[in-house]
């Protein structure tokens, strides 16, 4: 089979058990990450909490939620992400096929390496949509605090670390800390955290 450009599953609103569209090929339930997104957080569903038709698809399929899950999360968002196992099962028999197998093996290994590196990167969930690229050159963003734009889709430059350090050093503040023990000169002492009341 040939592989077309990936059409990601849209974020869908949970309204009953489904079915909910999975518009791309998949190898089985263990190759899909199904996440419920609500105001209280994100819940990754186990394979026992949904079913697929067909169980594996070369084109597309549909997902049906367990009745309890559908009722519990009604109105929340459903994000379906494919996470294909990176493996290569072709084994060549003659010299030409073994050469093809070696190339497929190397391609698979490189893809495995890429996924491993991505797993260590700072990421956002795919259902949030793509982020805009950082456009400032290194000499302009160096030494500045990592910050997000108001819409959350772009990394922007915050204040320089030296400016933050200077502000803290120039504004000392002290206050008494009482942790509940009476007549203890250590516990009830005054601690200086770098700001002063006069500068407040």
Is position 121 within any domain? no
User: Hey, what are 26's tokens?
Assistant: 């998949």
Bigger pLDDT: 94 vs 177: 94
Residue 131 resides in a domain: no
Residues 11 and 77 in one domain: yes
Which distant-in-sequence residues (6+ apart) come within 8 Å of 145 by Cβ?
A: 157, 158, 159, 160, 161, 164
Pairing of strands 144-148, 41-44: unpaired
Share of residues in the chain with pLDDT > 70 (%):
84
**For residue range 23-33, what is the model confidence (pLDDT) as tens digits?**
988 889 998 99
Q: Which domain holds residue 189?
A: 139-199
Average pLDDT over residues 125-131: 80
Residue 112 pLDDT: 78
Is 92 inside any structural domain? no
Structure confidence by residue, pLDDT tens digits, 80-120: 988 888 877 777 778 888 888 878 888 888 887 888 787 77
- Any domain includes 32: yes
Q: Is residue 157 part of a domain?
A: yes
State the pTM of this model.
0.62
Residue where a domain terminates, one of 85, 100, 131: 85
- Domain assignment present for 107: no
- The gap between the terminal CA atoms of the chain, to the nearest Å, is 68
DSSP letters along 65-127, please? E-HHHHHHTTTSEEEEEE----------SSHHHHHHHHHHHHHHHHHHHHHHHHHTS----GG
Range with the lowest mean pLDDT among 100-104, 136-140, 189-193? 189-193
| Number of domains composing the chain | 2
User: pLDDT tier at 200 (50, 70, 90 boundaries)?
Assistant: very low
pLDDT value for 186: 54
Q: Is residue 110 part of a domain?
A: no
């Amino acid at each position: 089979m040939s592989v077309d450009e990936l059409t990601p599953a849209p974020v869908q609103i949970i309204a009953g058990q489904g079915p909910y569209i999975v518009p791309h090929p998949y190898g089985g339930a263990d190759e899909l990450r199904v996440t419920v997104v609500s105001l209280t957080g994100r819940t990754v569903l186990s394979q026992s909490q949904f079913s697929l038709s067909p169980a594996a698809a070369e084109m597309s399929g549909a997902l049906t939620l367990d009745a309890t899950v559908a009722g519990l999360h009604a109105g929340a968002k459903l994000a379906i992400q494919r996470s294909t196992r990176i493996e290569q099962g072709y084994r060549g028999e003659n010299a030409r096929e073994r050469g093809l197998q070696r190339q497929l093996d190397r391609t698979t290994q490189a893809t495995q390496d890429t996924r491993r590196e991505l797993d260590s990167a700072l990421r956002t969930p795919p259902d949030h949509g793509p982020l805009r690229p950082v456009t400032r050159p290194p000499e302009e963003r160096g030494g500045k605090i990592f910050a997000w734009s108001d819409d959350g889709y772009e990394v922007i430059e915050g204040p320089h670390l030296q400016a933050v350090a200077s502000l803290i050093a120039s504004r000392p503040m002290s206050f008494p800390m009482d942790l509940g023990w009476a007549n203890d000169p250590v516990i009830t002492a005054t601690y200086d955290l770098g700001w002063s009341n006069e500068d407040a």
